[in-house]
Amino acid sequence: MPLVPLRPVLESAAKNGFAQGAFNVNAVAQAKAVIEIHETFRSAAILQGADLANGFMGGRVDFMNASLEDKIAGAKNIANAVRKYGETSDIPVVLHLDHGRDLDSCKAAIQGGYTSVMIDGSALPFEENMELTREVVKYAHERGVSVEGELGVLAGVEDHVFSSASTYTNPLSAVEFIRKTGVDALAISYGTMHGASKGKNVKLRKEIPTAISECLAYEGIFCALVSHGSSTVPRYIVDEINALGGQLSDTAGISADELRAAIPCGIRKINVDTDIRLAVTRNMKEFFNKYPEKRTSGTIGEIYELLETKKEQFDPRAFLTPIMPAVMYGETDDEDTKAILQCVEKGVKEAVGTLIVQFGSYGKAPLGEPVSLDEMAQRYREMER
């Protein structure tokens, strides 16, 4: 089926009492794997391309300095990959922009084929955040594209998103923000944190989503609450990376028990990136450990060198640059490159499959209503009347 907007998928999650994982992808192989594992578990799929992921997929190795043109090219590459595997799928598939920085970034993603966008104005004063979000909502809804906003600040680092401290979301401000902007989803700050070092034994402030959800229900407003910075950072994968020569320290995630307990409080979308990065990096290290002769391969030998040089890193984008054409377009005739891409796919499926079960979306794909962008645009017009 064609790619679908985010809102109907989250409406189904709310109606049936579960959460959808939302998984970041930075390569065609990752997109393929995310869709395939969701098909296996009969779950709708939300694939996310972060603003800088678009730059990377546009061929910008130094993606922190990606231009708007790089992001436009990368958005098309990610969308082409998701369409390739998603449009032949029997499950609903959403392509969502994660942490869009401004209206131009959101427009670039929509023009590239994204069916949902996040505009992150959380660092702005409340009124400015609201105005920027309202502007994105107007542009996106006219095209049937769903919008996620953010209110409150998460600590930690994710691409260009950084804060040294958290600012919890005020429930009353959240309801006002939702009412005045018309967002379909809202990312809140309630104790999660970006990155691989979230602190041990984190206890989420579940009273925050509970209060927001109860106020929204009283006013008859739909808006799905989103949990960013929610990777579980599996201890066993970190240990395996370090046993293979990695140097990861001070790593800790949000426990699956805490995340599951937040779902009845109104959390309907749970963002995960770090778990995938860890599993993919572990798999590549294992590959070169098992096949030492591949360390001098003409096509993937440099990946091994990068793994050995950057022992404290776990983002696959730091290691996959020698095979950028395969990363960006997913096609290669080289057997060594194919082997590395298989490592990528297996790592994605391990991390994502576990969380589909934890979040309760398995078997729920048939419960959702397939809605095209044109149909969603008409629904948005009707909502405004």
Render pLDDT for 161-184 as a digit per residue (tens, 0 to 9): 444 346 889 999 999 999 999 999
pLDDT recorded at residue 159: 47
pLDDT recorded at residue 68: 84
**What's the pLDDT tens digit per position in 81-111?**
999 999 999 999 999 999 898 999 899 899 9
Short-list 160, 115, 114, 151, CA closest to 133: 151
Q: Going residue by residue through the chain (385 aa), what tens digit of pLDDT does each one get?
A: 789 999 999 999 999 999 999 999 999 999 999 999 999 999 999 999 988 888 899 998 888 888 888 888 998 999 999 999 999 999 999 999 998 989 998 998 999 899 999 999 998 999 999 999 999 999 999 999 999 999 987 654 444 444 434 688 999 999 999 999 999 999 999 988 755 554 566 789 999 999 999 999 999 999 999 999 899 999 999 999 999 999 999 888 899 999 999 999 999 999 999 999 999 999 999 999 999 999 999 999 999 999 999 999 999 999 999 999 999 999 899 999 999 999 999 999 999 999 999 999 999 999 988 899 999 999 999 998 7
List beta partners, residue 224: 185
Q: Among residues 98, 159, 275, 336, which one is catalytic?
A: 98
pLDDT recorded at residue 272: 95
Active site includes 98? yes
